[in-house]
Amino acid sequence: MDVNDTDPDLPSLTHIAGEVVHITVLTVGYTNVGSSSGLQYQCWGSDPDTDATRSFGRSAPITTDRSPPEDERHSKHYFVRVVKFPTGDGWDSDGYGPFYCEASKPDRDVTRVTTFFQRVDDQLPNPIQTSDQGIYEIYYDNERDQNRGGLYKLIVRECAAGKWGPPECYGICDKCYNGGVCDDKSGLCICPNNFKGPNCLEICRNDGGNRFGLNCEFRCTRNNDPATKCHGYLFCLPDPYGCSCDVGAHGLGCNTQCTSGTYGPGCSQTCHCAGGGSSCNIYSGICTGGCQTGWSGDSCQIPDECEAGYYGSQCTDKCHCLNDEPCEKQTGECPEQKCALGYKVRSTGQVICQECEGRTFGLDCLQQCHCAQEACETERGLCQGLNHTAFKVIIPSIYCILFCSLVRRLLK
């Protein structure tokens, strides 16, 4: 196993409220339980989360509730923790199932990433359909103790597609490209291997894989930088992303190269090349000969007509129109300049809906908050705390007129 390298001199990053702890779980031999040694999973922390506290465990009991072996420090990198399954000692059977790495920091939400180990002779049926998230096991009658069933993790977002901030889900997600997934807690994109940036538009390597981590700072090897060195490994990121193969590969063992016309993590992305699928790079989506009509961008994923809620040359700017109506692509102007709750066109000559300010909220920002400074939620006027470390509340601003003044007196 030669996963041992990171790129130096990467910039330090700041974080925002609700952002996940940035970890990647790399799983080695995840389809080989019962047939080989060297099974392990590694928890890599990206900057600025290399110092996150990490813990490991079994996500759910399948045929046993046995905890994984103690984690240990990576032989070359202090910020990587590794769980290795020894040969024998029952792990040829007990290594089957879902396991997790959980990361935490004092000022961040706890982030758990789950990976899976399956037997080499698994026969997987079609995925089940259910409205309940969780880890599911499918097995033949009277054969559960053989660990030959299928494991499925069903992820259910708390917000509809393109929205974030449960339970109201007023926020518009950052537009995520190249297989990136919006985190419905923060609205930020979780990018797959080989892509980075706020919208996953930045390609780390044009002609191969061997890049992973928040800033593509990790490699499966630096020896000659082979394009497919990360093939055969399973990469798991914070939910709601889940797990996928490296770019350019798919299949149960993550070692089958993409067919013509597909690219990216698990070959999940569709190429839009003028020269057809054969002109599409399976790792980056870059097209030899340019993009099909109606598409643009480095990997030909940016449509000429933006999805409702977005505008701009890359369809990454957000409209905030009333009732989620689409806006004009070039200017971002909403139909009849009608903005969503918490937004308004502030001045003559402007056309873009901007967030309410000055303790105002609601439709066209016409209502006045009575909250502590900078504590007014702009959609409904909820008071989000009182800027006091000893007391936190979320109450309608109409009640805050009397109640907040009383609380302030009590807190003095």
What CATH code is carried by the domain that includes residue 121? 2.60.40.10
- Comparing C-alpha atoms, which of 114, 125, 130 is closest to residue 149? 125
Backbone angles phi, psi at 146, to 5 degrees: -90, -5
| C-alpha pair distances (Å), 165 with each of 197, 308, 326, 347 | 21, 19, 21, 28
Q: Please indicate, yes or no, whether residues 81 and 213 belong to a single structural domain of this protein.
A: yes
Q: What is the pLDDT of residue 369?
A: 86
DSSP 349: T
How many C-beta atoms lie closer than 10 Å to residue 174's C-beta? 21
Max CA pair span of the chain: 74
Overall domain count for the chain: 2
Spacing of C-alpha 36 from chain mean position = 31
Q: Are 257 and 265 in contact (CB under 8 A)?
A: no
- Comparing C-alpha atoms, which of 244, 214, 254, 262 is closest to residue 103? 214
First to last CA, the chain: 60
- Residue 326 falls inside a structural domain: no
Radius of gyration of the chain (CA): 24
Q: Please indicate, yes or no, whether residues 86 and 233 belong to a single structural domain of this protein.
A: yes
Q: What is the pLDDT of residue 64?
A: 83
- Residue 236 falls inside a structural domain: yes
Per-residue model confidence as pLDDT tens digits over 197-247: 999 999 999 999 999 999 999 999 888 899 999 999 999 999 999 999 999
Which helix (DSSP H) or strand (DSSP E) does residue 93 occupy? helix 91-94
Domain that holds residue 212: 1-158+201-258
- Residue 339 falls inside a structural domain: no
Cis peptide before 167 (omega within 30 of 0): yes
Calpha distance 121→106 (Å, rounded): 43
- Residue 334: both structure tokens together: 């909403």
pLDDT along the chain (412 residues), means of 10: 53 63 90 76 92 92 86 89 87 85 89 86 43 74 77 82 88 95 94 96 93 94 90 94 95 92 95 88 94 94 92 94 90 91 83 88 88 77 56 38 38 40
Last residue of a domain, one of 212, 234, 258: 258
Last residue of a domain, one of 211, 236, 258: 258
Q: What is the pLDDT of residue 399?
A: 34
Q: Which residue has the tokens 């000659």?
A: 224
Backbone angles phi, psi at 298, to 5 degrees: -60, -40
Last residue of a domain, one of 241, 258, 275: 258
Strands, E assignment, 146-227: 150-154, 163-164, 171-172, 181-182, 189-190, 195-196, 202-203, 218-219
* Residue 342, helix vs strand vs coil: coil
Q: Which residue has the tokens 């409209």?
A: 319
Burial class (CB in 10 A: 0-12, 13-18, 19+), 323: exposed
- Residue 48 falls inside a structural domain: yes
- Residue 26 falls inside a structural domain: yes
- Comparing C-alpha atoms, which of 259, 258, 240, 238 is closest to residue 249? 258
Q: Please indicate, yes or no, whether residues 399 and 253 belong to a single structural domain of this protein.
A: no
Q: What is the pLDDT of residue 136?
A: 78
- Residue 81 falls inside a structural domain: yes
CA quadruple 85, 86, 90, 93: dihedral positive or negative? Answer: positive
Q: What is the pLDDT of residue 245?
A: 95
How many C-beta atoms lie closer than 10 Å to residue 86's C-beta? 12
Burial class (CB in 10 A: 0-12, 13-18, 19+), 127: exposed
Q: What is the pLDDT of residue 129?
A: 35
- Residue 308 falls inside a structural domain: no
CA quadruple 190, 193, 196, 202: dihedral positive or negative? Answer: negative
Q: What is the pLDDT of residue 55?
A: 95
- Residue 378 falls inside a structural domain: yes
Q: What is the pLDDT of residue 36?
A: 65
Q: Please indicate, yes or no, whether residues 92 and 235 belong to a single structural domain of this protein.
A: yes
Calpha distance 263→29 (Å, rounded): 23
| C-alpha pair distances (Å), 392 with each of 3, 167, 272, 385, 387 | 45, 18, 50, 4, 8
Calpha distance 156→171 (Å, rounded): 18
